[in-house]
């Protein structure tokens, strides 16, 4: 999908830029900061730990399971280190990464950064258009080798997230992995719901989901230990300081995380 002729808007909040602000990035505007200020600190901590989990999970799959191809679904604004950085292994191998997002401004930033990269590609695609997503995957990645779908901090923005994941899973071969996290209102319910409502009021359709729903979304995958947990409980000491869990493990978080493998 080409982005030619699409007008970039700087006067309305963008989910990619708001999340960039919440994660501590600098690629956002005043309006995004105003929206970001409406969510609670617990919400922010959950997002940041989910991001750290994503990087650890990529590191684990790359170094321990031989996965060197990743699809970052809803990649958002560039925020180093990213999936491609975490995919580099101790053997000097580099992972091949396909970044997908529907935001034209994300496209501008991503394509500038990836202009000379052979192993990383960005495509402007609405990830709810699963046929287009699968077309991009088959055009860039080797379906004969393991592929990991990264859906972290994005499913909450999709009203039909379960259908999207089901269709993508069905469209890919066996030996596909998933790195998944999702905000929930099972923990600190009032704060999370209020934060989500504030985002919705500002045009960002954010939808926390409960454990039963998240579990059902992953039912075709065999989860690596320790299963579906808070992100700061999933291999918390893996990688360098940018990857390791920061939140004290004895405290809860309003987010679930898991890494799964579909063998058939």
pLDDT digits 0-9 by tens, 54-68: 999 999 999 999 999
Residues 6+ apart with CB under 8 A from 163: none
pLDDT digits 0-9 by tens, 73-131: 999 998 999 999 898 765 566 789 999 999 999 999 999 999 888 899 999 999 999 99
Query: What is the structure's pLDDT at 214?
Result: 98
Average pLDDT over residues 233-243: 83
Query: What is the structure's pLDDT at 37?
Result: 97
- Model-wide pTM > 0.85: yes
Gap between the Cα atoms of 16 and 65, Å rounded: 30
Query: What is the structure's pLDDT at 179?
Result: 98
Gap between the Cα atoms of 155 and 118, Å rounded: 28
Average pLDDT over residues 129-134: 98
Query: What is the structure's pLDDT at 243?
Result: 78
pLDDT digits 0-9 by tens, 169-206: 999 999 999 999 999 999 999 999 999 999 999 999 99
Gap between the Cα atoms of 64 and 29, Å rounded: 39
Which has more confidence, 73 or 242? 73
Residues 6+ apart with CB under 8 A from 91: none
Query: What is the structure's pLDDT at 5?
Result: 46
Judged against a pLDDT cut of 80, whether residue 241 lies above it is answered with no
Closest CA to 150 of 40, 63, 51, 216: 51
Query: What is the structure's pLDDT at 93?
Result: 67
Q: Which helix (H) or strand (E) holds 140?
A: helix 130-140
Closest CA to 40 of 29, 48, 31: 48
Q: Which helix (H) or strand (E) holds 67?
A: none
pLDDT digits 0-9 by tens, 12-60: 899 999 999 999 999 999 999 999 999 999 999 999 999 999 999 999 9
Question: Cβ-count burial of 20 within 10 angstroms (0-12 exposed, 13-18 middle, 19+ buried)?
Answer: buried
């Amino acid at each position: 999908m080409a982005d030619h002729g699409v007008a970039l808007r700087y006067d309305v909040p963008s989910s990619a830029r708001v999340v960039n602000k919440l994660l501590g990035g600098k690629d956002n505007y005043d309006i995004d900061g105003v929206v970001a200020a409406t969510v609670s600190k617990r919400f922010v901590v959950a997002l940041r730990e989910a991001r750290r989990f994503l990087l650890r999970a990529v590191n684990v799959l790359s170094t321990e399971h031989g996965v060197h191809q990743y699809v970052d679904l809803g990649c958002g604004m560039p925020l180093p280190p990213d999936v491609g950085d975490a995919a580099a292994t101790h053997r000097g191998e580099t992972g091949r990464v396909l970044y997908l997002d529907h935001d034209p401004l994300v496209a501008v930033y991503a394509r500038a950064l990836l202009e000379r990269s052979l192993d990383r590609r960005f495509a402007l695609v609405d990830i709810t258009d699963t046929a287009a997503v699968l077309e991009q995957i088959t055009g860039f990645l080797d379906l004969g080798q393991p592929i990991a779908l990264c859906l972290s901090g994005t499913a909450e923005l999709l009203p039909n997230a379960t259908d999207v994941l089901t269709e993508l899973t069905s469209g890919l071969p066996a030996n596909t992995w998933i790195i998944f996290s999702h905000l929930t209102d099972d923990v600190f319910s009032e704060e999370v719901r209020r934060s989500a409502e504030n985002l919705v009021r500002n045009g960002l359709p954010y939808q926390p989901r409960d454990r039963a729903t998240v579990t059902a979304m992953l039912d075709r995958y065999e989860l690596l230990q320790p299963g579906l947990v808070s992100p700061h409980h999933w291999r918390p000491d893996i990688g360098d300081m940018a990857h390791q869990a920061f939140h004290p493990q004895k405290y809860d978080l309003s987010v679930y995380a898991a890494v799964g493998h579909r063998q058939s």
